Amino acid sequence: MKFVSILMGSKSDYDVVKEALGVFEQFGVKYEILVTSAHRSPKRTQEYIKEAEDKGAKIFIAAAGMAAHLAGAVAAHTTKPVLGIPMPGSNLASMDSLFSTVQMPSGIPVATLAIGKAGAINAAYLAVQILAIEDEDLGQKLLEDRKKQQEKLIQDSSTIEVFL
């Protein structure tokens, strides 16, 4: 069974990460979610990655704040795509989590999304796009979603438009 695996460095990350779950549910994409840490539970993280791959994980999403090494730790143990979500925080205006997620060594990539909720939503959409490469039905659902987004934007504009 193919699915997306979502790892969070702390339970407090759930308020942001849950934004991704709605996207997966909208598109019918299965997911697993757990709390694990690159620093506090490295063995658990490594073992879970192997177990998830054996069960069919196609993409990993890793959300972490502060030192934010979770996405890199995941990427070190898999060749599947890893999408990183830097968590918002007060430390260094969240730049610490952004830099820790985006600055990966050559050959161990992490696709880094925006900080916070927009990053969680876009990580889910990117995961759906990756899965849609081999799933035409999912690709069609993405096209329909884009049309709905465009229609909503046009409707929203029509309520405030002023032209000369």
Amino acid in position 40: R
What is residue 96's predicted lDDT score, i.e. its pLDDT? 87
User: What are φ and ψ of residue 82, in 5° steps?
Assistant: -120, 125
pLDDT given at position 55: 98
106 marked as binding residue: no
For residues 21 and 33, is the Cβ–Cβ distance under 8 A?
yes
Domain boundaries, the chain: 3-135
Sign of CA dihedral 115, 118, 123, 124: positive
- pTM exceeds 0.85 for this model: yes
* Closest to 116 (Cα-Cα) out of 44, 19, 51: 19
The answer on whether 40 is annotated among ligand-binding residues is: yes
Query: pLDDT in tens for each of the 164 residues of the chain?
Result: 899 999 999 999 999 999 999 999 999 999 999 999 999 999 999 999 999 999 999 999 999 988 779 999 999 999 999 999 999 987 777 888 899 899 999 999 999 999 999 999 999 999 999 999 999 999 999 999 999 999 999 999 999 999 99
Helices 136-158 and 14-27, axial angle in degrees (round to 10): 110
pLDDT at residue 65, as a whole number: 87
Taking the alpha carbons of 51, 54, 56, 59 in that order, is the dihedral positive or negative?
positive
158 is in an annotated binding site: no
Whole-number pLDDT of residue 92: 78
DSSP state, 97? H
Amino acid of residue 160: I
Handedness of CA 150, 151, 154, 160 (dihedral sign): negative
Structural domain 3-135, CATH architecture:
3-Layer(aba) Sandwich (3.40)
Tokens of 86: 């830097």
Question: Which run of H or of E encompasses 52?
Answer: helix 42-55
